């Protein structure tokens, strides 16, 4: 059996009962699949799905649209966020829930790296840090919607992004807050992997790299809104994605910039885990894989917007998702790509920690799950 026939025969569809209203924001989905469980969002609740048994084993209920769901790092808990003004922490063993309350829609929620704290972001103009051990909450206040809030890799700081034109860094020990100011809404924020730097991305057409030890700021400029900015895993580069139709790779030591050109907005630009490549996703219907060392680009063409593109954890494959109801799985070693046809437009893809399982998320809240038993050989099989 060849790769493509294996692909199509290996499809597992989990059909949900309701569709999300198109006017609502697409859910934030990250870390939503383990080796044996997956999180399936159905408008106002989250189903916890046993992959082997192919059945729902638990449901987390909200009163309004669910904006995100993820597992804790040790896979013992599930964190959800909702437009019902709450985030919930659900314990898979005890079945107990803890509620974190806001006065507006909760847009984003994330665990810290040891699973002892969570941070939430809300349109009530605050981010909240909740400690699962002490049960105490710390609030970070903004003047407008908070889109995103994340922990530093060392879990000592929290970084927020807000429509009030600022990003804020909270030191969890000293409670000191540092504010980074832009001339437009801040769309994205990231820490370097050593927690020594941050980067912000703004509608004002710039990204700012801030050295937290020296306080120096490097300004990266685009001709349109910057949608995303991230560090490479070796902390030597930053990549940005912009509405001006470009993504840039900035080398921190040499201050050299490399530009990846598209014909429409670039929504995401992501480093491979080994820091050797970048993959972009654009509204021009393409994803581009840029080889940093060799200065070469491979283009994967779709017939609709490419909503995102990611690398598998071994840096061997790229997975794209598009509004043309297809995905590609492209093997970087063999340069072969497998086409996956979907029943609906795809807006997100994620994988478990070792990259052996991937889950595709659709706008109609259908999900498809694949198992990659040997991704380096581009072999995909049903589970």
pLDDT digits (tens, 9 = 90+) for 78-116: 999 999 999 999 999 999 999 999 999 999 999 999 999
pLDDT digits (tens, 9 = 90+) for 3-25: 333 333 333 333 332 323 323 44
Question: Looking at residues 256-273, what average pLDDT do you find?
Answer: 98
Percent of the chain with pLDDT strictly greater than 70: 89
pLDDT of residue 31: 61
pLDDT at residue 56 is higher than 50: yes
Q: What is the domain range of residue 100?
A: 40-181
Worst-scoring range by mean pLDDT, 146-160, 350-364, 368-382? 368-382
pLDDT digits (tens, 9 = 90+) for 204-224: 999 999 999 999 999 999 999
pTM (predicted TM-score): 0.89
* Chain center to CA of 335: 26
Residue 378 resides in a domain? no
User: How far apart are alpha carbons 95 and 380 in whole angstroms?
Assistant: 34
pLDDT of residue 361: 83
225 in Cβ contact with 240 (< 8 Å): no
Residue 85 resides in a domain? yes
pLDDT of residue 3: 35
pLDDT digits (tens, 9 = 90+) for 219-252: 999 999 999 999 999 999 999 999 999 999 999 9
User: How far apart are alpha carbons 122 and 28 in whole angstroms?
Assistant: 13
Mean confidence (pLDDT) of the chain: 88
Quickly list DSSP for 269-312.
Answer: EEE-TTSSEEEEEETTSEEEEEETTTTEEEEEE-SS-EEEEEE-
Q: Which residue has the higher pLDDT, 212 or 26?
A: 212
Residue 143 resides in a domain? yes
pLDDT of residue 6: 32
Worst-scoring range by mean pLDDT, 108-112, 139-143, 311-315? 311-315
The label of the residue with tokens 């469980």 reads 37
Worst-scoring range by mean pLDDT, 60-69, 146-155, 218-227, 349-358? 349-358
Q: Supply 383's token pair.
A: 């589970």
Number of domains observed in the structure of the chain: 1
User: How far apart are alpha carbons 326 and 307 in whole angstroms?
Assistant: 11
Task: Print burial letters for 19-28: b (CB count within 10 Å at least 16), e (below 16).
Answer: ebeeeeeebb
Residue 199 resides in a domain? no
Residue 295 resides in a domain? no
User: How far apart are alpha carbons 48 and 50 in whole angstroms?
Assistant: 7
User: How far apart are alpha carbons 76 and 93 in whole angstroms?
Assistant: 7
**CATH number, residue 47:** 2.130.10.10
pLDDT of residue 343: 85
Q: Which residue has the higher pLDDT, 33 or 148?
A: 148
Q: Which residue has the higher pLDDT, 36 or 191?
A: 191
User: How far apart are alpha carbons 152 and 160 in whole angstroms?
Assistant: 11
Which neighbouring-strand residues pair with 33? 38
Question: Looking at residues 180-184, what average pLDDT do you find?
Answer: 98
Residue 226 resides in a domain? no
Residue 138 resides in a domain? yes
User: How far apart are alpha carbons 58 and 18 in whole angstroms?
Assistant: 17
pLDDT of residue 373: 62
User: How far apart are alpha carbons 117 and 110 in whole angstroms?
Assistant: 9
pLDDT of residue 371: 76
Worst-scoring range by mean pLDDT, 64-73, 313-322, 367-376? 367-376
Sign of the CA dihedral with 257 first, then 285, 281, and 22 last: positive
pLDDT of residue 52: 82
Residue 159 resides in a domain? yes
pLDDT of residue 372: 72
Beta strands in 177-256 (DSSP E): 177-181, 186-191, 197-202, 206-211, 217-221, 226-231, 237-242, 246-251
Question: Looking at residues 128-152, what average pLDDT do you find?
Answer: 98
Maximal C-alpha separation, the chain: 60
């Amino acid at each position: 059996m060849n790769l493509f026939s294996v692909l199509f025969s290996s499809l597992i569809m989990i059909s949900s009962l309701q569709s999300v209203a198109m006017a609502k924001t697409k859910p934030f989905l990250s870390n939503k699949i383990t080796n044996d469980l997956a999180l399936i969002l159905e408008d106002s609740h989250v189903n916890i799905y046993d992959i082997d048994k192919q059945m729902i084993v638990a449901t987390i209920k909200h009163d309004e649209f669910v904006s995100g769901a993820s597992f804790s790092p040790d896979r013992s808990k599930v964190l959800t966020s909702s437009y019902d003004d709450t985030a919930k922490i659900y314990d898979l063993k005890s079945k107990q829930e803890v509620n974190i309350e806001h006065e507006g829609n909760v847009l984003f929620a994330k665990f810290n790296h040891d699973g002892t704290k969570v941070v939430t972001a809300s349109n009530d103009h605050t981010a909240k840090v909740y400690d699962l051990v002490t049960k105490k909450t710390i609030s970070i206040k903004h003047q407008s919607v908070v889109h995103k809030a994340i922990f530093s890799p060392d879990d000592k700081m929290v970084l927020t992004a807000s429509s009030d034109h600022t990003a804020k860094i909270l030191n969890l020990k000293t409670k000191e807050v540092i504010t980074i100011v832009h001339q437009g809404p801040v769309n994205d924020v990231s820490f370097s992997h050593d927690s020594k730097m941050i980067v912000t991305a703004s509608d004002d057409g710039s990204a700012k790299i801030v050295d937290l030890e020296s306080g120096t700021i490097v300004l990266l400029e685009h001709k349109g809104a910057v949608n995303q900015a991230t560090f490479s895993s070796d902390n030597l580069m930053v990549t940005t994605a912009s509405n001006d139709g470009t993504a840039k790779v900035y080398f921190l030591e040499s201050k050299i910039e490399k530009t990846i050109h598209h014909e429409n907005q670039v929504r995401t630009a992501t480093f491979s885990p080994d820091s050797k490549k970048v993959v972009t996703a654009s509204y021009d219907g393409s994803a581009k894989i840029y080889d940093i060392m060799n200065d070469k680009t491979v283009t994967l063409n779709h017939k609709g917007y490419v909503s995102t593109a990611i690398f598998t954890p071994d840096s061997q494959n790229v997975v794209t998702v598009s509004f043309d109801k297809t995905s590609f799985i492209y093997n970087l070693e063999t340069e072969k790509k497998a086409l996956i046809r979907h029943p609906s437009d795809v807006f997100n893809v994620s994988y478990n920690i070792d990259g052996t399982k991937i889950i595709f998320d659709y706008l109609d809240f259908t999900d498809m799950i694949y198992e990659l038993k040997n991704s380096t050989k581009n072999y995909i099989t049903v589970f």
